Amino acid sequence: MRSPFLSRVATGVLPLAVVLALFLLLRGHDAPGGGFIAGLVTAIAFVLAALAFGADTVRTALTPIVCRMPWIGLLVALASGLPAVARGQGFLTHYHLQIGVTDPPALRLSTTLLFDVGVYLAVVGAAALVLDAFAAEAPP
């Protein structure tokens, strides 16, 4: 039996969880990024959505997206180390690129962010696949 109170709380909390996960992905809990913890926050949001709106609703929304996400995440994380190898340096030596002028609004990109995005995708995909397996075994 689903609770209307939980559904209303989830409706308000889920967008905040997504914003928090995005912040953690870009900033990290210390620095420079937190792909793993952002993936866990997103997985917790999936669990909350499954509890509030039903596991089948979440499964149908996520199944087309999630089945390949861990592999894509691993490939992205591995690809973040290739620029260093191409320059003859150690794997996962990170590079930074600044787009724009030296003012604070300049866009700063790095292979560290690419690595964190790959970790995020792998964690979210793996957690969603585990949650999907648990939901498939749960009694109706």
What are the two backbone dihedrals, phi and then psi, of residue 97, each rounded to the nearest 5 degrees? Answer: -135, 130
Residue 90: strand, helix, or coil: coil
Burial of 98 (0-12, 13-18, 19+ CB in 10 A): exposed
Residue ranges making up the domain that contains 127: 4-137
Q: How many domains does the chain have?
A: 1
What pLDDT does residue 41 have? 94
Whether the predicted model's global pTM rises above the 0.85 cut = no
pLDDT tens profile 12-57: 999 999 999 998 888 765 566 688 999 999 999 988 998 898 888 8
What pLDDT does residue 73 have? 94
- Contact (Cβ atoms closer than 8 angstroms) between residue 52 and residue 9: yes
